[in-house]
Amino acid sequence: MNETVAEDRPPPVKIKKYANRRLYNTGTSSYVTLDHLCQMVKEGVDFVVHDAKTGEDITRSVLTQIIVEEEGKGQNMLPVNFLRQLISFYGNNLQALVPGYLEHAMQSFAHNQEQIQQYMSSLGGLFPFGQQLEEMGKQNMALFQNAMKMFTPFPLNKAPGAAPGGGAAPSGGDEESELRRLRQELEEMQRRLGELSRKKTD
């Protein structure tokens, strides 16, 4: 079934980026800007960006550029503390867990996006449960920080297989367990949002 869905989905639009930083949409045979690509994302149009000379897939870096451009326009969605925390994970042995965690978090938020927007619209744009969301975010970050401490690299004076307390090093199974716990926290966030939405309808 998944293969059928994948076949029905149109292939991503191919964008070429040239040395002069110009972006070329091969689908429309026209040059585009980062603003155009930003709008494509918002419209759900999938695309991939390749370096015109080397053929390298540079989609990730271009998407990052779009975020930087949007932040530069004053549309600040990324809190400073979040950016600092994210940077601190580069090179950390929890780095491999971060993409999956963030992706799952955004999927959970997107799942409730329509409910949240409808609720806000009915209240004239107010956001009465922002405090609850903030609290849930703090709880998730606290859990993530605890997980980070568990996998902090061992001191240099310890044996490679020894943990700081003298026990065995965390195994791959422990990492999977922590990831499951993180996902459970996000599912709890989703459940609470659902309850808040139901309260409004009751």
Residue 96: pLDDT band (50, 70, 90) is confident
* pLDDT higher than 50, residue 156: no
Q: How big is the chain, counted in residues?
A: 202
Residue 162: pLDDT band (50, 70, 90) is very low
What are the helix (H) ranges across 27-123?
A: 34-42, 59-72, 80-88, 98-111, 113-122
Q: 71, 45, 47, 43: which is closest to 59 by C-alpha?
A: 47
Domain residue extents for the chain: 2-72, 80-201
Read off the pTM.
0.56
* pLDDT higher than 50, residue 158: no
Look at residue 192 in the predicted model and tell me its pLDDT: 67
CA–CA separation, 13 vs 40, rounded Å?
10
* pLDDT higher than 80, residue 117: no
CA–CA separation, 70 vs 140, rounded Å?
26
Task: Report percent pLDDT > 90 for the chain.
Answer: 30
* pLDDT higher than 60, residue 77: yes
- Cα angle for residues 60, 144, 101 (degrees, 5° grid): 35
